[in-house]
Amino acid sequence: MWGGRFSEKPADLMQAINVSIGFDRRLAGQDLAGSRAHAAMLRKQGIISSEDAEAILTGLDAIEGEMTAGAFPFREEYEDIHMNVEARLAELIGPTAGRLHTARSRNDQVALDFRLWVREACDRSVGQLKALQRALLAKAEAHADTLMPGFTHLQSAQPVTFGHHLMAYVEMFGRDASRFADARERMNESPLGAAALAGSSFPIDRHFTAAELGFHEPMGNSLDAVSARDFALEALSAASIASTHLSRLAEEIVIWMTPQFGFIKLSDAFTTGSSIMPQKKNPDAAELIRAKVGRVFGALTSLTIVMKGLPLAYGKDMQEDKVPAFEAFDALELSVLAMAGMVSDLEPNKEKMAAAAGAGYSTATDLADWLVRTLGIPFREAHHVTGAAVKRAEELGVDLPALALSELQSLEPRITLDVYSVLTPAASAASRMSYGGTAPAQVRAQIARWKEML
């Protein structure tokens, strides 16, 4: 490839550190797409003849057929996917293959291929997240009125419904999908035609190749076009946030599966056993999702560090951009698919959840609200009275709904029997009718809204 300047082959160690075909072969489809668009543009602009362009396009089709059949000869001596394709094209159609590289460089070629790959990864992530949202919606709809405790500090706070809890993740994953869509919109400019760094002296049509490849327009600066990797950083940022949300839900599944909680069950399809303890049924899929977030975070950190000190334009450091992105999106895809499977598979233990929903004086806020609403007491005073009621119930070893009226009236004489109508977990949840609240009617309204949006 550069034999005119060099008279000796690279050292074995140089070859070992320099070669990238072992991983950038994943860009084969994108490389072929970019080459087709470039060849078509060269023909349109009269830079190469129609005959040469036709031979190149026919050769590229043959290479794609070989790749599809698993017969393409990937060879390390050609270093990367670009030179592997070009070398094979030369074997198929002869010296005409050399015309394909007119008015382009490997710098804008790899920038294009990687941008195309990340764009497709963003599209896949949006589709996978929407499938996960649909799984959550289906489970939430089936359990819009199934009671469970809502937690703060992992302590019982107020009763909520299981459907409401799951809908929180529908919202999170919706934002994740929108982040990937936003990133995709920003990255949808073509670097092809920037050549090595300064553009081309040939009369190329960058708008044509951009349109051929589904980009809005060409990138406006050739230096930026070959050196920018912020599109990958932004996609990995979105992947990191999505992975965080996956990890939070995975953690809850792990907790809910413990005998101490016993809130849900997973079938054999999404659990594993123990080699020594026959009673065990482990939520390993959730645990692995929780762990894979490290791969995604690591990819973002790795690429950020690669890019942080690079002067314009291209540096071979950027060869290290692909493996982290490939690994991160592989981990994210597997995690999203596994989570969707678990969500569809899990079944809540309604009785245990309902019992837990009323534990820990979870309707204390309802008592305070009743005092404000019915007796006109300032909230801070109502908070104090309720705190005293909780303390008294704790002393007697009972929950708030079981605290005698006389005990409540000793704290506030105006309390009536009507107060017990708000002290059950079901009544507490049903009363939260504010927009986005946990009342089953509100949960169903949000489910309907998301069904329409999806």
- CA pair distance 208, 99, nearest whole angstrom: 19
Residue 310 DSSP label: P
Residue 347 backbone dihedrals phi, psi, to 5 degrees: -130, 130
Q: What is the helix (H) or strand (E) element at residue 150, kind and residue range?
A: strand 147-152
H helical segments located in 94-214: 106-142, 162-187, 206-212
Is residue 153 among the annotated active site residues? Answer: yes
- CA pair distance 356, 198, nearest whole angstrom: 67
CA–CA distances in Å: residue 153 to residues 111, 150, 156, 157: 46, 10, 8, 9
8 A C-beta contact, residue 271 and residue 342: no
Q: CA torsion, points 299, 117, 77, 19, in degrees to nearest 10?
A: -20
3-state DSSP assignment of residue 152: strand
Catalytic site residue from 7, 153, 406, 434: 153
Residue 153 backbone dihedrals phi, psi, to 5 degrees: 60, 20
Q: Which amino acid is at 183?
A: A
Is residue 274 among the annotated active site residues? Answer: yes
Is the C-alpha dihedral spanning 188, 45, 201, 99 positive or negative? positive
Catalytic site residue from 49, 50, 178, 274: 274
The angle subtended at Cα 309 by Cα 305 and Cα 314, nearest 5°, is 100
Q: Which amino acid is at 406?
A: S
Cis peptide before 144 (omega within 30 of 0): no
- Active-site positions read 153, 274
